[in-house]
Amino acid sequence: MPEGLSPSEVGKEIRELAEQEWERRAAQLRRHDRLITVAEAVLLSIVALTAAWAGYSAAKWGTESSLKLAKASTTRAKTNRAFQQAFTTRSQDASNSNAWYSAYLAGNTNAERVAEKRFRSNYDVAFRAWLATKPFTNPNAPKGPQYMPQYRPLGRDLARRLDAQADAYYIAGQHAGLTGDKYIRVTVILATVLFLVGISSHFPLRGVRMGLIALGAVLLLFAAAEILRLPRPPA
């Protein structure tokens, strides 16, 4: 203590030193609060942008799922029409074959020629190949022309291709729908982060605010990792 100071002067100097120390600590506290506020603002900005991307991706994948499933339904309808065409063709081929067989059993060669003229070109090829197996004397011969590999009824191959295409569209639609659901789950996680950071400013305790920010940052990192694992939205 400096010499020659009176007790009142000493008290005044001590009070000034205490006020300076208090102001220093108050400034330090305000600086910490500003840093926390900045951290909250940065975290909120990142979460808002990430949530917007996740929401956009979920909407795009939802649309993709609807389009693929609609294509699957349309293609399945085309498959049914092609299958019905193949069934009609098989029925007509069988009717012509029965007419030929009846004429053959009756020994009416003229009726046989008339029946053969009604054969479709593809069926005629299968019919000639079937006759070459000597079906009336060979017990191992195919049951009829329709059992020959040369026989391809109109619409059968198209029905098979369309059926496979419809299955592919349906599987793609399911995958797109599941991907959209995963993006929605990420959006929910990000909404939780927004809630935690939003309420952190209402707590006067600095430790509570920092804890909420840390928890929000962890959830944000988890959401970002999920987004990186998911496929990008379709164009």
Show the tokens assigned to 113. Answer: 């020629």
Contacts of 37 (CB under 8 A, 6+ apart): 201
Q: Tell me which residue has tokens 């069934």.
A: 87
| Domain boundaries defined on the chain | 56-229
pTM: 0.67
Show the tokens assigned to 232. Answer: 């990008």
Q: For residue 1, is pLDDT > 50?
A: no
- Average the pLDDT over each of 32-36, 128-132, 184-188, 211-215 and give the range with the smallest value: 32-36
What is the chain's mean pLDDT, rounded? 84
**Cα–chain center distance at 218:** 26
- How many beta carbons lie within 10 A of that of residue 221, not counting itself? 10
Rounded Cα distance between 47 and 34, Å, is 20
Q: For residue 62, which of 137, 174, 168 has the smallest C-alpha distance?
A: 174
Q: What's residue 86's pLDDT?
A: 87
Contacts of 228 (CB under 8 A, 6+ apart): none
From residue 25, alpha-carbon distances to 12, 22, 35, 36, 162 in Å are 20, 5, 15, 17, 77
Q: What does the pLDDT look like over 148-203, one tens digit per residue? A: 998 888 788 888 999 999 999 999 999 999 999 999 999 999 988 888 887 877 67
Helices first, then strands: H and E counts in the chain: 5, 0
Rounded Cα distance between 202 and 210, Å, is 12
Phi then psi for residue 204, to 5 deg, are -75, -25
* Maximum mean pLDDT: which of 20-34, 53-67, 148-162: 53-67
